[in-house]
Structure 1
Amino acid sequence: MNKRFLKHTLSLLNVDWVKLDSRWNYKNVISPYHRIYYIDEGEGKLFDHAKTLKLEAGYLYIIPSYTLCNLICESYLSQYFVQFFEESADGTSLFLASRLISRVKASEIDVLNFKRLVEINPGRGINRSDNPLVYEKNIYYKEYQELNNQQKFDLFLETQGILLQLLSRFAVPELLSAREAVEVPITILDTMRFILVNLHLPLTVKRLAERVHLNPEYFSRLFGKHTGTRPLTFINEKRIERAVHIMATSQSSLSEIAALTGFEGLSHFTRTFKKITSLPPGIYRKQLNHT
């Protein structure tokens, strides 16, 4: 497990300390990166499809990537926050088995880590807007990545270390145990990588099985055993993740997004999107535009 974990690289986007008011009220937020909050004053609410968490002083909160959630502050909220991408060789996430919001009681070290992270990464706040629809753009992601590349090596290593420490506060066994049971065969890892870079192409179980010289039925069972999901389900989930990212960072039409993510047509895309997110893509986009 430890060697596999260390294959995950964390890429900083934003970190800052901010004071928020009732304008911090955004619905149906789905981001392609992790968020961690430390609340030092005030209160708010954070909820996904499964539960509601009260944002209160003295606690850390995490929103894993691609988790649909709502952010609410009715009056006043003061928080440290950090947003970062998680990258891995096989395209998987440490929170693949549980994309749910959660919280833990903050320690003194957590607070010091957040303050240090802000200190060594000046100017990394969200200066354009608090609205994810405004600041979640590919051009800004590239801008932040360039800042990472320009960072002094000692500060880059320290940033990585602090992010790992903060992330470790949520790396409890019930979230990660499913990933450490057995080693994933190279054929499955290779297939997952192939899927992630070819989502725009027609992908079938037969074609995927032929790539690794396996019987389709056996391949499907093997894939399910080591990923917890069947190949077609995995493909559809990754296509919707990609669709959400395109929707959040571009003005592409739903038909264009369907084509870019490998769906047979708009109706197929709409059915799959609603099945996975519980919202039709059109309604999801309208709600985003009205937040």
Structure 2
Amino acid sequence: MIKRTLRHTFTLLNVDHVKLGPKWNYKNVISPYFRLYYIDAGEGEISDVSTTLKLEPGYLYIIPSFTFCNLTCQNQMGQYFIQFFEESSDGISLFAHNRSIFKVKTSEIDVMNFVRLLEINPGRGINRSDNPRIYEKNIFYKEYQELNNQQNMATFIETNGILLQLVSRFLTPEILKHKETSHIPVKILNAISYIQLNLHLDLSVTHLAQQANQHTDYFSRLFQQCTGERPVKYIHEKRIERAQYLMVTTRMTYPEIAEQTGFENIFYFSKVFKKVTGMSPGNYKKQIELVRF
């Protein structure tokens, strides 16, 4: 029998059932956590840069972390929603290669799972305000984490089991149309994991190639062949993704975030941030505070 280790775990942030109206109209939403929706009445719309999906009863929807999307409701909509963080042993997200919104047909068990998760986790809605200026602050993340710590073992395991079941509904070959990791050389997989876990360190291509015992040029070409990107561009994107997470979930200053994500100074950090996201760190922070959820 082949033993398989579960490399991905999830931490509950919010779960609730809400009734939404025309005020639920937000553009360019991006969050460091996952969102799962089940619509039980009415309809709305959700879109990213390439896809527009109708929010309607009978379907599940997932928005992976760091996925840009737009959320709208023209009239009325009943929505079960779950927000949760993902952790993985190698730092690589299940949706690292395909950050898009997805839709699957709802089963009876899915509906029961949403209802049950809310039943065993009461009071886990966005209680203070739906304004991200208020609820997306580090102090509130800590409060929700403390609620997880206070769960008894049975509730903790059941909560994580339900999240795993719901996420598994989207792990189909049709949705995850990226290269299977078994087709990627072990040395490149090791380099990817090393990058994810050591974003705060010096990550020169020369150093990565030496770790893989390969010539720098050959390593760079092989890395691009397997990931679609040159190592430097990949490292920059992962560092800025980490910076976005820190900007949303902590009160760290920009120089502190630059240091934590491996940039030698705030000026270089700002330059790369703008190159990757199309806006300065300051403008990005203002945007996510104004337009989310």
**What's 1:194 paired with?**
194
Residues 265-284 of structure 1: matches in 2 within 5 Å?
268-284=268-284
Whole-Å Cα distance in 1 between the matches of residues 120 and 255 of structure 2? 43
**What's 1:136 paired with?**
136
Residues 111-260 of structure 1: matches in 2 within 5 Å?
111-176=111-176, 178-180=178-180, 182=182, 186-250=186-250, 257-260=257-260
Q: Does the residue aligned with 2:161 lie in a helix, a strand or coil?
A: helix
Tell me by how many angstroms 1:228 deviates: 4.1
Q: Does the residue aligned with 1:17 lie in a helix, a strand or coil?
A: strand
Whole-Å Cα distance in 1 between the matches of residues 4 and 221 of structure 2? 23
Whole-Å Cα distance in 2 between the matches of residues 33 and 5 of structure 1? 23
Q: How many residues align?
A: 290
Whole-Å Cα distance in 1 between the matches of residues 7 and 200 of structure 2? 26
Q: Deviations over 1:93-126 (max 9, x none)?
A: 1112210012122222211110011111122212
Question: Percentage identity across aligned positions?
Answer: 59
Residues 132 and 289, structure 2, Cα contact 8 Å, conserved in 1: no
Matched to 1:163, the amino acid is L
Whole-Å Cα distance in 2 between the matches of residues 252 and 115 of structure 1? 37
Matched to 1:239, the amino acid is R
**What's 2:45 paired with?**
45
Whole-Å Cα distance in 1 between the matches of residues 45 and 58 of structure 2? 14
Whole-Å Cα distance in 2 between the matches of residues 138 and 191 of structure 1? 31
Instruction: Mark the runs of 5 or more structure 2 residues left unpaired by the alignment.
Output: none
Tell me by how many angstroms 1:189 deviates: 4.1
**What's 1:109 paired with?**
109
Greater shift in the superposed pair: 148-157 or 275-284 = 275-284
Residues 125, 196 of structure 1: alpha-carbon distance in 2 compared, 3 angstrom cutoff: same
Compute the TM-score of the two structures, normalised by the length of structure 2.
0.85
Residues 27 and 287, structure 1, Cα contact 8 Å, conserved in 2: no
Matched to 1:65, the amino acid is S
Greater shift in the superposed pair: 187-196 or 101-110 = 187-196
Q: CA RMSD in A?
A: 2.8
Residues 26 and 131, structure 1, Cα contact 8 Å, conserved in 2: no
Whole-Å Cα distance in 1 between the matches of residues 193 and 35 of structure 2? 25
Residues 3, 21 of structure 1: alpha-carbon distance in 2 compared, 3 angstrom cutoff: farther
